[in-house]
Amino acid sequence: METFLVYTFIGLTTAAIYAVIASGLVLTYTTTGVFNFAHGAIGMLAAFAYWQMHEAWHWPTLVAVLVDLLVLGPLLGLFLERVIMRGLGGTSEATKLVVSISLLVAMIGLANVLWNPDVGRTVYPFFNGRKIRLGPTALSYHQLITIIVAILVALGLRLLLTRSRLGVTMRAVVDDPALTQLNGAHPTRVAQFSWAIGCSLAALGGVLVVSSTVLNASGLALLIVNAYAAAIFGRLRSLPLTFVGAIILGLADGYLRGYLPQNDYLTALPLAAPAILLFIVLLAMPNRRLRTHVRTREYFPAPTVRGAVLFCIVVLLGGLMMATTMSTIDLPTYSQLFAIGIIALSLVPLVGFAGQISLCQLSFAGIGAVCMAHVGINGNPLGFVVAILVCGVVGALVALPALRLQGIYLALATAAFAVFLDQWVFHLPDFDVGPIHLGSTTVVPHIMHFSTFSLGSVNVSTVKLFGYNVITPTAQMVLATVLFVICFAIVCFIRRSRFGRRLLAMRDSEAACATFGLDLLGTRLSVFAMSAAMAGLGGALYGTQLTAVTPDRFNFVAGLPIFMMVVVGGAGFASAGLFAGVSLNALLPFMTTVFNSFGKYQLILTGGVGIGLGREPSGAAPQIATGFIALREDLPVIVSMLCLMVVTWAGRLINLYPNWPMLIALFVIFVGAVAIASRRRLVARGIARAAVTGAAAADVEEVPLEWVGVTVPWTPELLAKTEQVLGLGSVTYEAVGAATIRRGGAS
Amino acid sequence: MTTTGPARTTGAVAPVVAPMLELRGVRAAYDSIDVLHGIDLVVPAGQVIALLGPNGAGKTTTLKVASGLHPAAAGDVFIAGRRVNGARADELACRGLCLVPEGRGVFPNLTVRENLWVMTYAGRSRSEIEEAAYARFPVLAERRHQHAGTLSGGEQQMLAMARGLATDPALLILDELSMGLAPLVVEQLYGLVADVAAEGVSILVVEQFARVVLGVASRAAVMVAGHIVHEGLPAEIEATLSESYLGAGETEH
């Protein structure tokens, strides 16, 4: 009984904290439409700020708490609204998600810069953990305060949202911002207010939770992720249900800690429990209606055959150059860019084409790596095949229940799957399915021996292809390049194929697709399976490059930057895969070798890049591409550029000069080619335009009237012609003073 | 602010009533696509003006510019004689302009009551607004705790109209009032428009299908492709209507 009460109180306290955090999340989501993944990180920053004020500067508890909740929290909220969230209107879920995930990453980075993570910090509970006796057990003041605060928050929010004009307006903005404005409300002020309250609630959660856990940036930011499951109980809308969800989660957490038998298999289960509950709750969501038309700012045209081929050639050449010129110390680092690139590429058909969100691609990669480790022993290339097949099947299995979900819910379901894998499954010791004995008879035979990371790390041997062992770093680099180019070509092919057009159609309007008789289920299932299979291949390759893999390589947080970078690169473009690989596994290590302190700011920078996405929702790839558009269309310049590059490379190969001059020379050649191509393009265009204007001037009659004002500006002649065609020439009007309607047109 | 009063005296010679809404040479564009090519439109105080025209003529854009939701690229917007270019929609709304937008101008996830509460920004209290709205549409009182999204189309349009009328606007702008509604409901709503006009509110009505609105309007203008091409008394306009539409759709009703 006593243990039961103790764990009940622990559970209720956890529930109270979850409830406070989740209600802030629900508030900002319902009023601004942005699901703030960084909500936990805001609580984390507030917890650190509290430590700074209370423990380091010795401010009184109450002052520190009030400054945190009433000054820092709201200020941060206003800042976020002004700088980041205001630009997100009309963007896709993926873009909104990436911006808030980037914020999460940047905030973890910021906390690590401000508060050295190697220093241990403790925050004591309120009233130094004094307790009041309650029958056979005791309840600490801190626990009591936490529970009371949660109840007050619940009541306060209820009143705010249903009784006050501001609260009602906050909900009105969700339905129709323009209409709210027509009613006289200032939409920006409403959004600012909800961000301020939301951040304040996150801060409150952070301050309450910090004494019962370790003050660690990423740990805190993600511990609070568990609170998201509570928010999902309320379907991100209902606050009462959110509180119910928080209580269920909190109690489950408390009782699992208290009563779960301790063994190798179940120790880690409580950590994964919120994720499992989240997944279950998501499955219980009612069927949504099919989406009809979504209007987004993103635009992803199909790649041209020529562009794709050119891209493949350049990547192959680049890979070969790196393979032949880099030192054997650098090669293993940089060849990872193609493995990560393949994992990133697997997101393109899913996120970019089909508009589905998956945050568990790196977990699929982890499964791929495990397959490679256990099947590809002694370089058996079958490992790749098994990785692809297993991941495809697992991907389909994950997709099957998640199929009914969309947008943010799908993102959360896949995130839950990733957390479930990295918190529990990847930490399981080897186990067998079957045999089950009843007495002396075997009821179920031995089915399979399962093995993940064997409680540590597993070795992945290098692969043998056609009798050749790909063991040298050079060979590995070449293999990685080739595999990447193949995957790139597959993705480009998909985009141009019937299947790809289906995916795009499905993204634009599921309802329309269903009326055409398109099999939505099959299409979504196959794109999920395909994408998981590709991620598995990437993971298997990644495994062979790392030679030994550990679960933390494939955890949920490690996967976020890949997702971010793909969307930043432009999720609908296959080149975004390379963009992600290069920026995460080539630029960052490169910068760190050049500037030593760079590693410290790496997370902030990565996050900053993602946050910038809000400004340009189609991503960076199209912008980079427009810069090169002239070059791409100019075959003579391309060929000469490639020839010059090959010559430079050859010079390096016969050791005329070291790597640095070659890099600089390559860069100069490239910039020169871009400049020359743009110049040639301008000249060619000038000639073309002269020809066109000459023709047009001679022939005003040819201008199609319905396009006047769109492609051609209005001129008096065209107006006259319009009137003539419309038969309005004979109608004339006189202005009879200000109190009548006058005729339109140029007067 | 005296903009809610229609009359304004200028000079000693004779009292001249400034028009409630006047657009002078208004141009507007969405990105690089020009939509309005110089619109001149006047809504005299206390009159009902109908703005007609086929799909895509720029009628809704004209209203958006007039109500501050969309910026004018050129030209001027006057409300009660004051130039209001660049004013935000919420500022205009607080000063007596009310636009009932196309479709249903209601918040579907708020209850009827809460929908009415959002209207308190123009200076009226909750109870005043509720009373005024329920007096005009008793059915709304029965449905006050229901979510607006669950109302019928006609009831939703009533709620939207109630919003407009409860705040005593000086200028009421109605966009496609009849959209998706049964003819009988449309007739009722236009009967209401006539009543409101009789109370002295200036009204600008936009309709694609024109006949019903011509019954209540004192003057009408026809818009085609971003220009106003016809203007006159409803009877004159009705006669030239099919010519103006040029096959842009049938004009029954």
Can you point out the beta strands (E) in A172-272? none
Q: What is the mean pLDDT of residues A279-305?
A: 69
| Cα of A63 to nearest chain B Cα, Å | 36
Same fold, A2-259 and A261-294+334-438+445-593: yes
- Candidates B104, B117, B130, B241: best to mutate against A (most CBs of A within 10 A) is B117
DSSP code of residue A214: -
Answer whether B117 sits within 8 Å of A168, measured CB to CB. Answer: yes
**Which residues have a Cβ under 8 Å from the Cβ of A6 and sit 6 or more positions away?**
A137, A258
Nearest to A744 among B17, B22, B39 (CB): B39
Q: Tell me if the bond preceding B19 is cis, omega within 30° of 0.
A: no
Distances (CA, A) of A325 to A335, A652, A682, B215: 13, 7, 37, 84
Residue-level pLDDT at A40: 87
A332-346, A724-738, B91-105 — which is least confidently predicted? A724-738
- Candidates A165, A176, A179: best to mutate against B (most CBs of B within 10 A) is A179
Residue-level pLDDT at A448: 64
ipTM computed for the complex: 0.82
Answer whether A184 sits within 8 Å of B228, measured CB to CB. Answer: no
> Helix, strand, or coil here: A443?
strand
Residue-level pLDDT at A744: 35
User: Is B90 in CB contact (< 8 Å) with chain A?
Assistant: yes
User: Is B93 in CB contact (< 8 Å) with chain A?
Assistant: yes
Can you state the angle between helices A39-50 and A2-32, rounded to 10 degrees?
120
Domain check: are B139 and B213 in the same one? no
Rounded distance between C-alpha atoms, residue B6 and residue B19, angstroms: 8
| pLDDT exceeds cutoff 60 at A700 | no
Domain check: are B194 and B236 in the same one? yes
Answer whether A741 sits within 8 Å of B228, measured CB to CB. Answer: yes
Q: Confidence band (pLDDT; 50, 70, 90) for A316? A: very high
User: Is A746 in CB contact (< 8 Å) with chain B?
Assistant: yes
DSSP A594-610: HSTTHHHHHHHHHHHHH
User: Is B98 in CB contact (< 8 Å) with chain A?
Assistant: yes
Answer whether B99 sits within 8 Å of A182, measured CB to CB. Answer: yes
CB pairs under 8 A between A and B: 135
Q: Confidence band (pLDDT; 50, 70, 90) for B32? A: confident
Query: Considering only CB atoms, which chain A residues are within 8 Å of B218?
Result: none
Rounded distance between C-alpha atoms, residue A518 and residue A525, angstroms: 13
Rounded distance between C-alpha atoms, residue A679 and residue A683, angstroms: 6
Closest CA to A418 of A491, A343, A487: A343
Chain A stretch 240-299, residues whose beta carbon is closer than 8 A to a beta carbon of chain B: none
A541-545, A608-612, B2-6, B120-124 — which is least confidently predicted? B2-6
| pLDDT exceeds cutoff 60 at A696 | no
| pLDDT exceeds cutoff 90 at A487 | yes
Q: What is the mean pLDDT of residues B77-87?
A: 83
* Mean of per-residue pLDDT scores for chain A: 81
Residue-level pLDDT at A473: 87
Query: Considering only CB atoms, which chain A residues are within 8 Å of B90?
Result: 181-187
| Cα of A171 to nearest chain B Cα, Å | 7
Give domain A2-259's CATH number out of 1.10.10, 2.40.10, 2.30.29, 1.10.3470. Answer: 1.10.3470
Residue numbers of the domain that contains B110: 105-168
Closest CA to A167 of A282, A59, A44, A31: A31
Residue-level pLDDT at A691: 63
Q: Confidence band (pLDDT; 50, 70, 90) for B52? A: confident
Q: What is the mean pLDDT of residues B138-149?
A: 86
Chain B stretch 6-45, residues whose beta carbon is closer than 8 A to a beta carbon of chain A: 16-19, 22, 25, 33-35, 37-42, 44
> Helix, strand, or coil here: A709?
coil
Q: What is the mean pLDDT of residues A319-333?
A: 85
Q: Confidence band (pLDDT; 50, 70, 90) for A291? A: low
Q: What is the mean pLDDT of residues A489-515?
A: 88
CATH number of A261-294+334-438+445-593: 1.10.3470
Answer whether B101 sits within 8 Å of A745, measured CB to CB. Answer: no
Kindly report the CATH number assigned to the domain that includes residue B207.
3.40.50.300
- A403, exposed or middle or buried, with CB in 10 Å at 0-12, 13-18, 19+? middle
Residue-level pLDDT at A187: 76
Rounded distance between C-alpha atoms, residue A17 and residue B121, angstroms: 36
User: Is B63 in CB contact (< 8 Å) with chain A?
Assistant: no
A184-188, A381-385, B128-132, B144-148 — which is least confidently predicted? A184-188
Rounded distance between C-alpha atoms, residue A577 and residue A562, angstroms: 9
Nearest to B93 among A169, A183, A726 (CB): A183
| pLDDT exceeds cutoff 90 at A362 | yes
Q: Rg for chain A (alpha carbons), in Å?
A: 30
| pLDDT exceeds cutoff 70 at A673 | yes
Per-residue pLDDT of A328-348, as tens digits, reads 888 888 889 999 999 999 999
A27-36, A350-359, A722-731, B155-164 — which is least confidently predicted? A722-731
Q: Which two tokens stand for residue A193?
A: 């207010």
**Closest chain A residue to the Cα of B162, Cα to Cα:** A183
Do the beta carbons of residue B50 and residue B215 sit within 8 Å? no
Residue-level pLDDT at A16: 92
| Domain final residue, candidates B149, B168, B187 | B168
Residue B2 maps to a domain: no
The residue type found at A600 is K
Answer whether B38 sits within 8 Å of A744, measured CB to CB. Answer: yes
Residue B23 maps to a domain: no
Per-residue pLDDT of A628-670, as tens digits, reads 777 777 788 888 888 888 888 888 888 888 888 888 888 888 8
Answer whether B231 sits within 8 Å of A743, measured CB to CB. Answer: yes
A444-458, A504-518, A573-587, B5-19 — which is least confidently predicted? B5-19
Answer whether B163 sits within 8 Å of A183, measured CB to CB. Answer: yes
User: Is A731 in CB contact (< 8 Å) with chain B?
Assistant: yes
Residue B22 maps to a domain: no
Answer whether A175 sits within 8 Å of B109, measured CB to CB. Answer: yes
Residue-level pLDDT at A34: 82
Rounded distance between C-alpha atoms, residue A207 and residue A607, angstroms: 24
Answer whether B98 sits within 8 Å of A746, measured CB to CB. Answer: no
Closest CA to A602 of A635, A565, A574, A628: A565
Residue-level pLDDT at A690: 64
Domain check: are B51 and B152 in the same one? no
Residue-level pLDDT at A726: 67
Answer whether A182 sits within 8 Å of B118, measured CB to CB. Answer: no
Nearest to B121 among A185, A726, A733 (CB): A185
| CA-CA-CA-CA dihedral for A507, A509, A515, A517, to nearest 10 | -10
Residue-level pLDDT at A388: 95
Nearest to B114 among A168, A722, A743 (CB): A168
Nearest to A738 among B42, B67, B110 (CB): B42
Query: Considering only CB atoms, which chain A residues are within 8 Å of B246?
Result: 726
Beta-sheet strand order (sheet of B33-43): B33-43, B21-30, B74-79, B82-83
Per-residue pLDDT of A129-183, as tens digits, reads 778 877 777 788 888 999 999 999 999 998 988 888 888 888 888 778 788 888 8
Chain B stretch 114-133, residues whose beta carbon is closer than 8 A to a beta carbon of chain A: 114-115, 117-122, 126
| Cα of A695 to nearest chain B Cα, Å | 24
| Domain final residue, candidates B168, B187, B209 | B168
| pLDDT exceeds cutoff 80 at A396 | yes
Residue B21 maps to a domain: no
Residue-level pLDDT at A292: 54
Answer whether B90 sits within 8 Å of A181, measured CB to CB. Answer: yes
Chain A stretch 133-172, residues whose beta carbon is closer than 8 A to a beta carbon of chain B: 162, 165, 168-169, 171-172
- What is the total count of domains within chain B? 2
| pLDDT exceeds cutoff 80 at A447 | no
Give me the residue spans of the domains in chain A.
2-259, 261-294+334-438+445-593, 704-747
How many CB atoms sit inside 10 A of residue A577's CB?
A: 32
Answer whether B109 sits within 8 Å of A184, measured CB to CB. Answer: no
* Mean of per-residue pLDDT scores for chain B: 79
Domain check: are B190 and B240 in the same one? yes
Closest CA to B113 of A182, A161, A168: A168
Can you state the angle between helices A520-546 and A473-496, rounded to 10 degrees?
170
Residue-level pLDDT at A435: 67
Do the beta carbons of residue A49 and residue A178 sit within 8 Å? no
Do the beta carbons of residue A249 and residue A15 sit within 8 Å? yes
Closest CA to A175 of A162, A158, A187: A187
User: Is A86 in CB contact (< 8 Å) with chain B?
Assistant: no
Q: What is the mean pLDDT of residues A441-465?
A: 74
Q: What is the mean pLDDT of residues A375-390?
A: 88
Residue-level pLDDT at B209: 66
Type and span of the H or E element at A74: helix A73-83
| Cα of A387 to nearest chain B Cα, Å | 47
Residue-level pLDDT at B232: 82
Do the beta carbons of residue A410 and residue A404 sit within 8 Å? no
| Cα of B237 to nearest chain A Cα, Å | 12
- Tokens 């009843």 correspond to what residue? A438
Domain check: are B135 and B181 in the same one? no
Domain check: are B162 and B177 in the same one? no
| Cα of B100 to nearest chain A Cα, Å | 8
Answer whether B229 sits within 8 Å of A176, measured CB to CB. Answer: no
| Domain final residue, candidates B118, B152, B168 | B168
Residue-level pLDDT at A230: 86
Per-residue pLDDT of B196-248, as tens digits, reads 888 888 889 888 767 778 878 888 888 888 888 888 887 777 777 766 665 44
| Cα of A740 to nearest chain B Cα, Å | 6
- Candidates B20, B24, B90: best to mutate against A (most CBs of A within 10 A) is B90
Per-residue pLDDT of A92-144, as tens digits, reads 777 788 888 888 888 888 888 888 888 878 888 887 777 887 777 778 888 89
Answer whether A168 sits within 8 Å of B110, measured CB to CB. Answer: yes
User: Is B49 in CB contact (< 8 Å) with chain A?
Assistant: yes
Query: Considering only CB atoms, which chain A residues are within 8 Å of B38?
Result: 744-746
